[in-house]
Amino acid sequence: MKADSGKRVVIVGTQWGDEGKGKVTDYFAARADVVVRYQGGNNAGHTIVFGGKKYALQTTPSGIFNPQIINVIANGVVVNPVALQGELERLESQGITDYNLRISNRAAVVMPWHSVLDGAYEEMKGGKLIGTTKKGIGPAYADKYNRIGIRMGDLLDPEYFAERLHNVLQVKNMELQMLGLPTFEFDAVFEQYRALGERFRPCICDTSVLLNKAIEEGKKILFEGAQGVMLCIDHGTFPYVTSSSPTAASVPVNTGIAPRYVDNVLGVCKAYCTRVGEGPFPTELHDELAHYIRERGHEYCTVTGRPRRVGWLDVVALRHAARVSGVNYLSLMLFDVLSGLEKVCICTAYELDGQVIDYVPSTITELERCKPVLEELPGWVEDTTTCRSVEEMPEAAQRYIARIEELTGAEVAVVSVGPDREQTILRKDFF
């Protein structure tokens, strides 16, 4: 473990996304100079609540509300400039007009065929859908790695963009034709995306240079992840995952800084678990309990509106996420939701084919056969939304938090007791 307090903190989702990363990033942004989104795209939906207003961010970093903060969309993000423009217009209509946004010239562009292909590939899977957000994220990353992607910086050079677009369209239109889908005309795409390039020209730059300068100057930087480690392309429940790595290990390559500059990793986790989309979920609940938690936690996806699947806190998955991401502090979210339950459970191990295991199997077939080994703890009835310290909480609630620390070996530095910025308990100052 590194030193207690550091200037560069990575905020990582440790479950299947929607852990409350936006809320936590906004909370710590009050002390940050720079906030950086390092992967994913507008498949993310980060909700922030303060001053009686609610804001939904998708590609924009959660430091956008403070004009003193530089908000960076780094090279590892896939940017849909049409969606980003819409998102900024929505923010402006909510009174957020003064902000400082930078976009990496190396960030991949989500082009209009990507969402079409995302939907088409899902349909082709028959009953084995991933349940993607259909924002074109997978196809955009695939094109990047296949080296037929377009980057934000390309949009600023009309001659080069025209050449790239010609080549890319040749491949993509062939793919679309083979799938029996409408193709794209060069002129219309060229004009639209060239204009979008101009719209974002003042923001587009080499954000790696910007970040390294900020580090040299001793600035405080938050790296905001999207999704969660269990949706990681490498360490998640493949193939039911997203197409990037939300782990802290992906920050250096996705932002252009050296690994040694990451000081602390804050793992964000709900006091229980949720998942949207398909894929194994060992602690999933199906009964009235799931309904109770879903309604109290308003567990409906902000991007697609789908109800989120709900389950008990899975410490096997949490330890896995913490291990591969180097999590040294935890932020325990939606703690208020658990009030009113007779008992609360924590999954401490899995039972696989009659054997107790303490790791996440790599194959879906094995993970689907895993049954949770549950530890029961007494619940509490008292409302915790007005608590501003853990000591004010009922004893059973305090015991639940202490047990999570024992089982994970990570310190619970933050406890969140409501969606509002004010409903946050900071137990350990590390940033």
Annotate 271-305 with DSSP letters as a single string. Answer: SSEEE-SSS--TTB--SHHHHHHHHHTT-B-TTT-
Active site residue 46: yes
d(CA 340, CA 55): 28
- Strand 313-314 versus strand 343-352 pairing type: parallel
Assess 387 for contact with ligand IMO (CB under 6 A): no
Supply 266's token pair: 């804050």
Within residues 128-167, the interface with ligand IMO by CB under 6 A covers 130-133, 135, 137-138
Rounded to the nearest whole angstrom, what is the least distance from the CB of residue 230 to ligand IMO in the complex? 10
d(CA 407, CA 409): 6
d(CA 217, CA 235): 34
Residue 12: beta bridge partners?
A: 267
**Closer by beta carbon to ligand IMO, 155 or else 241:** 241
d(CA 287, CA 202): 52
The CB density around residue 353, as the number of other CB atoms within 10 Å, is: 9
Residue 294's binding partner out of ligand IMO, ligand GDP, Mg ion, none, with CB under 5 to 8 Å set by partner kind: none
Active site residue 235: no
Residue 426's binding partner out of ligand GDP, Mg ion, ligand IMO, none, with CB under 5 to 8 Å set by partner kind: none
Classify 136 in phi/psi space as left (phi over 0), alpha (psi -120 to 50) or beta: left
Rounded to the nearest whole angstrom, what is the least distance from the CB of residue 256 to Mg ion in the complex? 25
Rounded to the nearest whole angstrom, what is the least distance from the CB of residue 176 to Mg ion in the complex? 30
Assess 255 for contact with ligand IMO (CB under 6 A): no
Determine the Cα angle at 72 with ends 130 and 204, to 5°: 100
- Amino acid present at 35: V
**Closer by beta carbon to Mg ion, 77 or else 210:** 77
Residue bearing tokens 């309990």: 289
Q: Which stretch binds Mg ion (CB under 5 A): 15-23, 158-166, 186-194, 261-269?
A: 15-23
Residue 224 phi/psi, 5-degree rounding, is -100, 115
Within residues 184-243, the interface with ligand IMO by CB under 6 A covers 226-228, 231, 242-243
**Closer by beta carbon to ligand GDP, 23 or else 320:** 23
Residue bearing tokens 């800084």: 257
Rounded to the nearest whole angstrom, what is the least distance from the CB of residue 380 to ligand GDP in the complex? 15
Catalytic residue among 26, 46, 154, 263: 46
Determine the Cα angle at 381 with ends 375 and 382, to 5°: 125
Residue 309: beta bridge partners?
A: 275
Catalytic residue among 18, 26, 143, 263: 18
- To the nearest 10 degrees (0 to 180), the angle between helices 158-178 and 112-124 is 20
**Closer by beta carbon to ligand IMO, 152 or else 241:** 241
**Closer by beta carbon to ligand GDP, 256 or else 267:** 267
Among 45, 81, 197, 311, binds ligand IMO (CB under 6 A): 45
Residue 77's binding partner out of ligand GDP, ligand IMO, Mg ion, none, with CB under 5 to 8 Å set by partner kind: none
Residue 137's binding partner out of ligand GDP, Mg ion, ligand IMO, none, with CB under 5 to 8 Å set by partner kind: ligand IMO
Assess 18 for contact with Mg ion (CB under 5 A): yes
Assess 225 for contact with Mg ion (CB under 5 A): no
**DSSP designation for 308:** P
Nearest residue (beta carbon) to ligand IMO: 277
List the beta strands (DSSP E) in 51-153. Answer: 53-57, 70-73, 78-79, 100-104, 108-109
Binding residues (CB under 6 A) for ligand GDP: these are 13, 17-23, 44-47, 49, 297-298, 302, 333-337, 416-419
- Amino acid present at 157: D
Q: Is the peptide bond before 280 cis (omega within 30 degrees of 0)?
A: no
Assess 26 for contact with Mg ion (CB under 5 A): no
Within residues 2-21, the interface with ligand IMO by CB under 6 A covers 13, 16-18
Please identify every residue annotated as catalytic: 18, 46
Q: Which residues of the shown chain bind ligand IMO in the complex (CB under 6 A)?
A: 13, 16-18, 40, 43-46, 130-133, 135, 137-138, 226-228, 231, 242-243, 276-277
